[in-house]
């Protein structure tokens, strides 16, 4: 019999999962006696575990809910961005991983300072902080709403409980604790998705072949229109967006770059990066396929889906009403895992950025123990702030405040991938030219956001914040992020010709690295950084 409340067996599984997480957090509490071990570990973690951690970090409750919602309401176009990631990554991972491991200690943004000066480090690290505070609040918010609808519990209480557990085990275990927790949570997440998919295939009332045929014939498995019209959400809009997402995530995001540093060797770090990305693609596909199966299931039995249950709400409703007791508890635990595996990485990396990009920069005589204590304090403070942001989302209904914060992030942190491209792929770009590029990027992004964003201004309905008529930003908003990177790169590169070159920084570019490798090859010498 369908039910709309969790069975006691499900509650037992959920509580047991929470106790397991708390116990494992305690087991890792003896690690991390220095900032090095707390943020990059002992460098003895196997590549497969780091790869699982990369996957678990990229897969959050947003994926757990948004991908099935997209698969149910639309087609598979959301998957196109994910498909572009491994294609992009394999073109530069062989160079960027060893380059980062050579030139930085803990923070990814140290590379930007060495290449372009402190302002580049400050701009990029501030963008990282803004984005991840916003993301953490979103993860908490979506988790709370889903679990509240499934359990009948207060969403504020859910945010508080999940937040406290995540903060405590992240605080205690450092990066090694985070990675091994991510491994466990990654397996639970995949298991929950596979079980859900299997149950849907069996419950659809048809064989798997018939289910797939029905979905295909209805266009539910399309990956978008193959059109170069950038005003609409087409295949190429998503694919181009995915290329720049991959560059920004793997070239500038502390949560990923920090994983490069945890590995014992360059080859293991490269293996972990590739493994994590290649794991993400089937997981993204699995969850969007779940949405397609939900569409087929409720198309065959429309009486089972109440009015008002649409989009992101459909999967939680199915879990609650159609999945057997016990299995429901496993899937809810998987939803917890999806959220926690993202939140723990964000907290540890925010602490690393706070210590390395700010505290050490201005307190050069600070002892390592002072830095470690501050890092742990940052985890506690950032965790509390993210809980507060999630509660604010719940109080304000989520949608309006989420949109506002994402727009602010787009304005003040756009173009970070452009900084990476200038730093890595050019030798002529210099710090003054980059600063001009950043200014141009901020101005362009501000214009694009203001002329493409509508707000409800009262009785007059939704209107553009700034209406310039035919001079409004004309393309789909997903292209805004792409253009911001391009504007920064082009303007920064051209502006660099008006200023004297910086001191020799060629060794920090792709060309310098390749020349160095050729030099070692010619002398039959092998650099320490690439020894296995």
Composition of the chain by helix, strand, coil, percent to 5: 75, 0, 25
Place of tokens 């572009």: 84
Q: In the prediction, which pLDDT does 530 show?
A: 40
Q: What is the pLDDT of residues 347-391, one digit of tens each?
A: 999 999 999 999 998 888 889 899 999 999 999 999 999 999 888
| Percentage above 70 pLDDT, the chain | 91
Contact criterion met (CB below 8 Å) for 321 and 7: no
Which residues, other chains included, contact 219 with Cβ-Cβ below 8 Å and sequence gap of 6+? 75
Q: What is the pLDDT of residues 94-130, one digit of tens each?
A: 889 998 998 888 899 999 999 999 999 999 998 888 8
Query: Is 60 exceeded by the pLDDT of residue 303?
Result: yes
Q: Please give the Cα distance from 442 to 452 (Å, whole number).
A: 15
The residue with tokens 């917890």 is 336
Q: Is 470 exposed, middle or buried, given 0-12, 13-18 or 19+ CB atoms closer than 10 A?
A: exposed
Q: Which of 323, 253, 273 is nearest to 293 (CA)?
A: 323
Q: What is the pLDDT confidence band of residue 78, given thresholds at 50, 70 and 90?
A: confident
pLDDT digits (tens, 9 = 90+) for 410-469: 555 678 999 999 999 999 999 999 999 999 999 998 898 888 877 765 555 677 888 888
What is the H or E stretch that residue 462 is in? strand 462-464
Distance CA 525, CA 105 (A): 25
Position 204 scores a pLDDT of 61
Q: What's the pLDDT score for residue 156?
A: 92
Mean pLDDT of 128-133: 85
| Structure confidence by residue, pLDDT tens digits, 260-297 | 999 989 999 999 999 998 999 999 999 999 999 999 88
Q: Spell out the residues 6+ positions from residue 458 whose beta carbon is closer than 8 angstroms to its own.
A: none
CATH architecture, domain defined by 8-28+47-399: Up-down Bundle (1.20)
* φ and ψ of 456, to 5 deg: -80, 110
299 vs 203, 296, 308, 338, CA distance in Å?
12, 5, 15, 28
Whether 526 shows a pLDDT value over 50: the answer reads no
Q: In the chain, where are the structural domains located?
A: 8-28+47-399
Q: pTM for the full model?
A: 0.87
Residue 411 pLDDT = 59
CA 289, distance to chain mean position in Å, is 20
What's the distance, Cα to Cα, between the start and end of the chain in Å?
57
């Amino acid at each position: 019999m369908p039910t709309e409340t969790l069975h006691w067996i499900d509650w037992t599984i959920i509580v047991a999962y929470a106790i397991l997480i708390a116990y494992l957090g305690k087991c890792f509490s003896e690690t991390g006696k220095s900032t090095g071990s707390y943020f990059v570990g002992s460098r003895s973690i196997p590549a497969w575990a780091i790869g699982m951690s990369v996957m678990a970090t990229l897969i959050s409750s947003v994926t757990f809910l948004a991908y099935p919602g997209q698969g149910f309401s639309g087609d598979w176009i959301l998957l196109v961005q994910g498909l572009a990631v491994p294609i992009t990554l394999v073109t530069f991972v062989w160079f960027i991983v060893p380059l980062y491991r050579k030139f930085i200690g803990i923070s990814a943004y140290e590379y930007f300072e060495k290449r372009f000066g402190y302002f580049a480090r400050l701009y990029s690290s501030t963008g990282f902080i803004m984005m991840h505070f916003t993301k953490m609040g979103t993860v908490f918010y979506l988790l709370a709403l889903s679990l509240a609808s499934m359990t009948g519990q207060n969403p504020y209480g859910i945010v508080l409980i999940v937040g406290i557990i995540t903060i405590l085990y992240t605080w205690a275990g450092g990066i090694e604790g985070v990675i091994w927790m991510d491994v466990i949570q990654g397996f639970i997440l995949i298991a929950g998705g596979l079980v859900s998919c299997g149950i849907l295939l069996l419950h659809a009332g048809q064989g798997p072949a018939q289910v797939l045929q029905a979905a295909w014939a209805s266009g539910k498995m399309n990956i978008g229109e193959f059109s170069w019209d950038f005003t609409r959400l087409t295949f190429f809009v998503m694919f181009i967006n995915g290329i720049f997402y991959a560059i920004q995530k793997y070239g500038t995001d502390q949560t990923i770059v920090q994983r490069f540093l945890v590995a014992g060797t360059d080859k293991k770090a490269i293996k972990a990066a590739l493994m994590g990305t290649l794991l993400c693609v089937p997981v993204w596909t699995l969850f969007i396929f779940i949405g397609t199966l939900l569409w087929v299931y409720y198309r065959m039995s429309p009486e089972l889906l109440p009015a008002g249950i649409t989009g992101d709400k459909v999967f939680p409703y199915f879990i609650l009403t159609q999945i057997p007791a016990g299995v429901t508890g496993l899937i809810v635990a998987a939803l917890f895992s999806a959220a926690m595996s993202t939140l723990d990485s964000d907290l540890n990396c925010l602490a690393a950025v706070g210590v390395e990009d700010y505290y050490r920069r201005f307190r050069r005589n600070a002892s390592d123990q002072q830095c470690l204590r501050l890092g742990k304090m940052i985890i506690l403070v950032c965790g509390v702030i993210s809980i507060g942001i999630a509660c604010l989302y719940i109080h304000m209904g989520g949608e309006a405040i989420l949109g506002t914060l994402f727009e602010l992030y787009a304005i003040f942190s756009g173009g970070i991938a452009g900084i990476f491209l200038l730093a890595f792929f050019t030798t002529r770009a210099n710090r003054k030219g980059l600063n001009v590029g950043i200014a141009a990027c901020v101005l362009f992004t501000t214009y694009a956001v203001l002329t493409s964003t509508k707000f409800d201004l009262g009785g007059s309905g939704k209107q553009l914040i700034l209406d310039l008529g035919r001079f409004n930003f004309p393309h789909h908003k997903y292209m805004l992020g792409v253009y911001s990177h391009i504007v920064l790169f082009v303007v920064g590169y051209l502006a660099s010709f008006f200023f004297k070159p910086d001191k020799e920084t060629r060794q920090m570019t792709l060309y310098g690295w390749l020349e160095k490798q050729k030099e070692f090859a010619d002398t039959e010498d092998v650099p320490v950084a690439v020894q296995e």
